[in-house]
Structure 1
Amino acid sequence: MKNSPLLLAAQQPALAGSLAAGFILSAALLWLITGSAVTAVAFLAALAVFVVAGFAISSLRAPADAGGFTAPDWSVTVAAIEQPGIAIAITDRANRLACASQLYADWFGIDFAPPGLPLDRPGLEKLSRAAREAWRDGRAEADSLSSEDGASRWKATAERAGRGDDFLVWRFEALVEEDMSATMAARLAGPFGKLLSRAGIEAALVGADGAIRAVAQGFAERASGDPAATMAGQDFVAQLRSDERDRIFFSRDGRRGSPQTLIQVPLADPASPQPKGADEGPSLMLLIDSGVGIGGGWDGAGQASTPQLEALLGALPLGLAMTDRDGRFLFANNAFLRAIDQEKDGLPQFPSDLVVREDKAVLADAVRRFGRGSGSSGDMAVRLRSAADEPVSLGLAGVRGLGEASVLLSLADSTEETRLKRQVAQATKMQAVGQLAGGVAHDFNNVLTAIIGYCDLMLLRHTPGDSDYDDIQQIRANSNRAASLTRQLLAFSRQQTLRPEVLQLPDVVSEVSQLLKRLMGEKIAFTVRHDRDLGMVRADPQQLEQVIVNLAVNARDAIHSRGDGTGKLTLSTRRISAPEIRKMGSDILPPADYTMLIVQDDGSGVPADKIGKIFEPFFTTKEQGKGTGLGLSTVYGIVKQSGGFIFCDNVEGPGGKPAGARFTVYLPVYHGDMPQPAKQVAEAPASEWSGGGRLLLVEDEDMVRAVAERALTRAGYQVTTAADGEEGLAEIANGGAFDLVVSDVVMPGMDGPAMAREIRRLKPAMPILFMSGYAEEQLRRDIDIENMFFIPKPFSVAEIGQKVGDVMAACKK
């Protein structure tokens, strides 16, 4: 306060007197020293001029100088920050309290400044974090701040303020938990209570001791006859009564009134810890007239309205059923019967008869509990006998005021949803199994390539008649048989090499008809029927022949399984248009024009529990040793790789029993011209290449690389080997001169296609021969360049030598 304007004003008279006395004393001393009065007078005049000029300049600068020396006047700020219910404090950058409202002083005292307030440790951490964020970002909040004793809780906000943002303005608001009981009592006495009564719901607030605290006007009128009665303190139970069937009535109404459904709503904060018992706090009691929502009261004579209720429930799409107090079914709508698969057999006596044995006791106990307890609802997971592997959610609701009916069961009709789920699960499983089969076949082809190659090399050193010649031939024959199995796996996984052509399906059928007649034998009548104006399809004719043969052999075995071996096999082709597909309403077949191939027999059919698995590899219904389980899986893979669809169903005979199986193949009709062959897809013409050459052989499998190297070396080529793509690329980059690169496709690190792209950057004209167990189409989707050739695994020594010779001859032209 030493520089305040009030202090300076008080000191000005004394200061002026002191200055005048000093000036006179100075003039007297000057007169005595100089002895000249004129000099002394001139001195005083000069001093007077300077003093007057100084006061003039001081008066001009007084406002500016006064502002520089005046301390902040916080009294105005204090008056401005006084707000009801909000405590405000202002702190500087050193977290010192500059100003605070009276409410802040009452809550925290003026000896504490944010964030150092008397709070618990979590609150202090939140407030400190908020201070840092406010200085950094300009604003911050801190919620749920508790005092050290936990009796008070606040919410705080902090904002930067001041000309240089040198202050923080803190605002604190007390968090007061709402008294739900008092709030509900006030609402019941107001328009909210009248609204409930108008809707047929009477409400009362009841304490833990059973005494009424507040009621709606409608409840007061029903219970006492006076809508203005408060009824506070009266026993809630005394206002009601129940009959021998546990139906609830208002005591004042007697039997003349309608039954009520009682619902208890505990008024407890869901976020706070729950009390030990349900009766430890106040509750909202709702009494709902049984006539609400169904158009009339239900008493002992209310059973006359049951047909109307059944008609109403029967029109709903949700499966609904009603039971009596003992759990016996009274009725069920059609949706419920469809959901439990009982449309033909009808409704059983008890709900427990619908579920598997393990769920019977649990369901019966639940129905009994809902039937005899208070009106409530819930749901439980059960397994129906008709679909024991798929749990369903069964809803249960205790109903009051409906005569003998006491439990309402609800069950959604999920037949269509279940069917779609099974189809999606089956498609997903088939895709996963296909990927697994393709990977196994690829790795197995590497092993077979080595076995067949070494057998060929050994046969070059042995002649017929040697002791080991027959054994080597037997090993080679079994290896070729294993190779045919891998081709079937590749067909199922849709990774085999196809040579598609635009063709007519009857032409393919005619090619194999004679073979099929021999396969069927004399006891099976073989019939072929063709529709007119069939559309062209694009597929591999050899693979389609395999499809027809496999389906026919499968039908023959099904006919023989009946016992006498006599039967009938029908092979037919049909055309089906896109509008017909739309009428079918299939979720799998996209609308398009198709040419159908139907293979139908009158054998034993396919068991219903196995019809969804017949296309899986290694799954067979035949006796052990009579089938590999790859026939139908191969058919499935070929059809899907050709862009088609295949379905199997049983033909119903007399009495609904299976009278054979029917396989239907849908192949999309090809519209357009014959597509041009892909680059270098056509096989190079066979030639006797004898010019030799330098080859780079890239293969990560040691045994395959060794066999191929020996085979190509014997054929007269200079072979340089590499164990992976990086080594192969390094050979080219280091100046290696090669006529052809022979490479595997799938390798660790850099694979074959990636290596080929890098090689083509260095040597654009370098021919590349890929060898792989996967399909050529899959390879060409990854890389399609000039002078690229393909040989499938497994191959023999002669085949790899012949293929390299053909490629060398084609590239030299």
Structure 2
Amino acid sequence: MGVDVLATVDEPRGLARIGTGARASLAIATVAGLLAAALVLWLIGSVTIAAGFLGAAIVLAGVAVVVARLLPARAAPGGEVDWSVAHALAEASGDAVAVTDRGGRLVCANDRYAALFAGYATPPSLPLDGDGADRLASAGRAAWRDGRAQCDGLMLGGEMLAATVLRAGADGDCLVWRLVEGQGGAAPERLADAIAGTLGVRAGEAGIMAAVIDVDGHVLAANPVLRARAGDAEIVGNDLAQYLAGDADRLVRFVAEGEMATPMRLVQLPLGDRADSPILVAMVDAEGTIAHGAAADVEALVMLMPFGVALVDREGRFMQMNAAFARAVSAEPTAPPLYPGDLVVREDKSVVADAVRRFAGGGGRSMDFAVRLKDHPDEPIVFSIASARGLGDAAVLLSLKDNGEENRLKREVAQATKMQAVGQLAGGVAHDFNNILTAIIGHCDLMLMRHSPGDSDYDDIQQIRANSNRAASLTRQLLAFSRQQTLRPQVLQLPDVVSEVSNLLRRLMGETVRMEVKHGRDQGSVRADPGQLEQVVVNLAVNARDAMVSKPGDGPHRLTIQTRSVPIAEVRRRGDIMPVGDYTALEVTDTGTGIPLEVQHKIFEPFFTTKEVGKGTGLGLSTVYGIVKQSGGYIFADSRPGQGATFTVYLPVHAASGDGPVATPLASNNRLRTGELWGSGTILLVEDEDMVRAVAERALTRQGYTVLAAENGEAALELVDGIERPRLVVSDVMMPVMDGPTLATHLRRQLPGIPILFMSGYAEEQLRRSIDLDNVSFLPKPFSVQQLAEAVRDVLSREEGPEAAQLTGHGTA
């Protein structure tokens, strides 16, 4: 019938030797013979007759022993055990059943047991997950002691098991192990069914009113005693709050019982980490306590919780913790922690101890606080603590929630906020530096006009100008980081941009780095500045090269540049920081040293670098960050120390529209023209920085123009009263009292259509969004004398035509 008997009780050893009764009969016969022989000798004094009596007694005893050995012996009680009944009962059960004897040997097991454990393993040494075997052994010891033990929450290959261990046998010398599959889970649905069923009845008998409610407070399940005291048998589906009233002592009572009703303590436990998870509500009379016999019900309730829950007694010691709590805190099953403070780092011990002591004394209802566990000190978790007085010997209920994902989102938001603040600061600093550099470069240009190559001062002036241009490059990088640089966006393909710089990158990588370029299919086009995207690729590649060159070990290292389309699933994995949409990705992957975890949140900050002093400005990645953000994209760095890093740039796919081609810049500081730059007429110059105003005035005067200079907008309006119409207005954008756009609006009312050339250290793209004026040109700072002359002539040429500009020109710069 499929039941194996693996061990049986030994045969009675009395069947092989003289039994205890036979030995007793022989002794009695011998004693009787001796007494009879002594009596005969005393009465008649004959030794011969006395010896005859003694011999006859011995012969009779021997005959009795022989007869006892030849007759069938009856087994002693408790000797051989008939297992056929146990076999039949075990096989009749659909659960896994096994029986072990006092020596721990497996004597009986059914087919389900053999199938579940792939053979006849001897309990408690079963192949259970985690600490299951140790917990089952503890249950076995408890069953020998108490007669019965229960062990829930066991796992076998990811499946739940619940074990019941019973002491059985006439002499209590066997253990019956019953393992039920699919039990011991902690689903809220199972808990709701249990509350509405037998567990709820038993909890009610112990004085516990329990219900499961949804996030809106509607009852999903309630035990009979709660329905009875609420006065509504149809309470399911209704709002639980309508049946309760609170008082000044933070206690509740049932409205149906009136104002003189017994007050109750209420405990709420969310049954999951989601916002819409059901909530378990338990209430006990504040004036009474749970009977000692209800402790098992409380323990069963705790074990059903779908998250980590533990009970702490009045002395601050753990009474019980469920499996989820033990796993979360990495508590050793063989040596569970004694106090909650044993779980956390030293700095948090006093906080936990104070909270447990306060709530054990009834102070407060619940509180959340963050702690760091000893086993995971880098990832804080949230402890929820509530007073549990009235729940038997328990005084405090502890639950925990892993808020690692929440902390990650907070760090990303904080990082984005910090980067925005640093960007605004960098933009303001760059703007002020651009004014200073404009003055320095302008004065150098004016001095070079009075010196020729070979003069003693010519080389010094050139050196000053070169260093100024180098400083201007740094300010442009700061503006890139702060997203305030001037971009010239075009609709393009990322593979084309990578191809343009591939040859340059191969030379930059050197002999020890092998570069590999991959392009995916079906990539959407993007709208960005091709020159700036090339700078992104170059900066990321050079940064990767430096990381690989500094890594010890044999080469060659590998740099992989890949462009590809982005699936929606990948966008969703990036979280709320990146909205769902169509993107094209640029990935730069290296095999270098990786980015240490402690500095990963700083790598995009300006002037932060891990390179040696003198080998980096700390603006490479910050420039990349600014260009990507200003282009409407996102950048992420994924790295594990010692395993390289991957920088992924996501740019939104451009949606084609009828907006027409992108306008070309009105003035460019990247070209030097050798045509005639001289002119005539009046130009109104408005600049609040004295040094910039002085340079621009001298430069325009040398080009033949009549310059009217004003230090602010109000002074400029006073100058134009009563004079001829100026040909052009050259004005700064950001000025005190009256800024450039406001001045331009007033001038257009007095002098309709007058051309305006704005100067600014901020980005043209940013300014054009805030300036609602047409026929406006833009010259970025810092600029040279020749660039200012070119910009002025470009504007005048468009206003009067190239012929007029050619007639007014009568010299070269």
The aligned amino acid for 1:664 is T
Match of residue 662, structure 1, among 621, 624, 646: 646
- Taking a change above 3 Å as real, the CA distance of residues 580 and 437 of structure 1, as seen in their structure-2 partners, is same
Q: Which residue of 2 aligns with 1:646?
A: 635
CA deviation after TM superposition for structure 1 residue 362, in Å: 4.0
- Taking a change above 3 Å as real, the CA distance of residues 742 and 363 of structure 1, as seen in their structure-2 partners, is same
Deviates more, 1:335-344 or 1:777-786: 335-344
Match of residue 387, structure 2, among 397, 402, 423: 397
Q: Which residue of 1 aligns with 2:300?
A: 308
Check the 8 A contact 2:207/2:290 in 1, yes or no.
no
1:729 and 1:604 map into 2 onto residues whose CA distance is 61
Q: Deviations over 1:37-91 (max 9, x none)?
A: xxxxxxxxxxxxxxxxxxxxxxxxxxxxxxxxxxxxxxxxxxxxxxxxxxxxxxx
1:343 and 1:682 map into 2 onto residues whose CA distance is 72
Q: Deviations over 1:616-638 (max 9, x none)?
A: 11222223332211111111110
The answer on 1:692 being equivalent to 2:706 is no
Check the 8 A contact 2:685/2:730 in 1, yes or no.
yes
- Taking a change above 3 Å as real, the CA distance of residues 413 and 201 of structure 1, as seen in their structure-2 partners, is closer
CA deviation after TM superposition for structure 1 residue 339, in Å: 7.6
Match of residue 360, structure 1, among 344, 349, 353: 349
Q: Which residue of 2 aligns with 1:589?
A: 578
Match of residue 431, structure 2, among 416, 438, 442: 442
The answer on 1:635 being equivalent to 2:636 is no
Report how many aligned residue pairs link the two structures: 533
1:268 and 1:618 map into 2 onto residues whose CA distance is 58
The aligned amino acid for 2:683 is L
CA deviation after TM superposition for structure 1 residue 584, in Å: 2.9
Check the 8 A contact 2:379/2:404 in 1, yes or no.
no
Check the 8 A contact 1:645/1:667 in 2, yes or no.
yes
Check the 8 A contact 2:442/2:783 in 1, yes or no.
yes
Q: Deviations over 1:625-665 (max 9, x none)?
A: 322111111111100111111111115xxxxx651111111
Check the 8 A contact 1:451/1:479 in 2, yes or no.
yes
Q: Secondary structure at the match of 2:596?
A: coil
1:401 and 1:268 map into 2 onto residues whose CA distance is 18
Equivalent residue runs for 1:502-581 within 5 Å = 502-564=491-553, 566=555, 567-577=557-567, 579-581=568-570
The aligned amino acid for 2:653 is V
Check the 8 A contact 2:266/2:283 in 1, yes or no.
no
2:778 and 2:450 map into 1 onto residues whose CA distance is 29
Match of residue 484, structure 1, among 469, 473, 479: 473
Check the 8 A contact 2:316/2:357 in 1, yes or no.
yes
Q: Which residue of 2 aligns with 1:604?
A: 593
- Taking a change above 3 Å as real, the CA distance of residues 346 and 497 of structure 1, as seen in their structure-2 partners, is farther
Check the 8 A contact 1:581/1:591 in 2, yes or no.
no
1:546 and 1:343 map into 2 onto residues whose CA distance is 54
Q: Which residue of 1 aligns with 2:411?
A: 422
CA deviation after TM superposition for structure 1 residue 292, in Å: 7.1
Check the 8 A contact 1:531/1:574 in 2, yes or no.
yes
Q: Secondary structure at the match of 1:778?
A: helix
1:392 and 1:289 map into 2 onto residues whose CA distance is 21
The aligned amino acid for 2:563 is T
Equivalent residue runs for 1:220-369 within 5 Å = 304-305=296-297, 308-313=300-305, 315-316=306-307, 319-324=308-313, 327-329=316-318, 332=321, 350-368=339-357
Rg larger for: 1
Matched-pair identity in %: 57
CA deviation after TM superposition for structure 1 residue 418, in Å: 2.1
Check the 8 A contact 1:435/1:493 in 2, yes or no.
yes
1:304 and 1:780 map into 2 onto residues whose CA distance is 74
Check the 8 A contact 1:694/1:739 in 2, yes or no.
yes
- Taking a change above 3 Å as real, the CA distance of residues 511 and 337 of structure 1, as seen in their structure-2 partners, is farther
CA deviation after TM superposition for structure 1 residue 675, in Å: 3.8
CA deviation after TM superposition for structure 1 residue 680, in Å: 7.4
Q: Which residue of 2 aligns with 1:451?
A: 440
The aligned amino acid for 1:617 is P
- Taking a change above 3 Å as real, the CA distance of residues 565 and 728 of structure 1, as seen in their structure-2 partners, is farther
2:751 and 2:265 map into 1 onto residues whose CA distance is 88
Q: Which residue of 2 aligns with 1:735?
A: 723
RMSD in angstroms over aligned alpha carbons? Answer: 3.9
1:574 and 1:347 map into 2 onto residues whose CA distance is 51
Match of residue 764, structure 1, among 752, 775, 788: 752
Check the 8 A contact 1:568/1:602 in 2, yes or no.
yes
Q: Secondary structure at the match of 1:712?
A: helix
Check the 8 A contact 2:492/2:525 in 1, yes or no.
yes
The answer on 1:672 being equivalent to 2:656 is yes
Q: Secondary structure at the match of 1:612?
A: helix
Q: Secondary structure at the match of 1:479?
A: helix
The aligned amino acid for 2:711 is A
Q: Deviations over 1:87-116 (max 9, x none)?
A: xxxxxxxxxxxxxxxxxxxxxxxxxxxxxx
The answer on 1:626 being equivalent to 2:626 is no
Check the 8 A contact 1:201/1:287 in 2, yes or no.
no
1:650 and 1:605 map into 2 onto residues whose CA distance is 6
The aligned amino acid for 1:455 is C
CA deviation after TM superposition for structure 1 residue 287, in Å: 8.2
Q: Which residue of 2 aligns with 1:751?
A: 739
1:437 and 1:342 map into 2 onto residues whose CA distance is 49
1:614 and 1:399 map into 2 onto residues whose CA distance is 51
CA deviation after TM superposition for structure 1 residue 468, in Å: 2.3
CA deviation after TM superposition for structure 1 residue 520, in Å: 1.3
1:777 and 1:602 map into 2 onto residues whose CA distance is 38
CA deviation after TM superposition for structure 1 residue 467, in Å: 2.6
Q: Deviations over 1:764-802 (max 9, x none)?
A: 221111111111111211225443211110011121122
2:336 and 2:447 map into 1 onto residues whose CA distance is 75
5+ residue gaps, structure 1, are 1-196, 203-217, 219-264, 271-282, 652-656
Check the 8 A contact 1:600/1:662 in 2, yes or no.
yes
- Taking a change above 3 Å as real, the CA distance of residues 334 and 481 of structure 1, as seen in their structure-2 partners, is farther
2:266 and 2:790 map into 1 onto residues whose CA distance is 93
Q: Deviations over 1:407-439 (max 9, x none)?
A: 321344433332222222122111111111111
5+ residue gaps, structure 2, are 1-203, 210-224, 226-245, 252-259, 268-280, 802-813
TM-score by length of 2: 0.59
CA deviation after TM superposition for structure 1 residue 474, in Å: 1.7
1:524 and 1:726 map into 2 onto residues whose CA distance is 61
Check the 8 A contact 1:679/1:785 in 2, yes or no.
no
1:709 and 1:626 map into 2 onto residues whose CA distance is 40
Q: Which residue of 1 aligns with 2:177?
A: none
Match of residue 709, structure 1, among 697, 702, 720: 697
2:265 and 2:565 map into 1 onto residues whose CA distance is 64
Q: Secondary structure at the match of 1:475?
A: helix
The aligned amino acid for 2:528 is A
The aligned amino acid for 2:708 is T
- Taking a change above 3 Å as real, the CA distance of residues 345 and 433 of structure 1, as seen in their structure-2 partners, is farther
Check the 8 A contact 2:208/2:284 in 1, yes or no.
no
Check the 8 A contact 1:689/1:806 in 2, yes or no.
no
2:590 and 2:776 map into 1 onto residues whose CA distance is 46
Q: Which residue of 2 aligns with 1:807?
A: 795
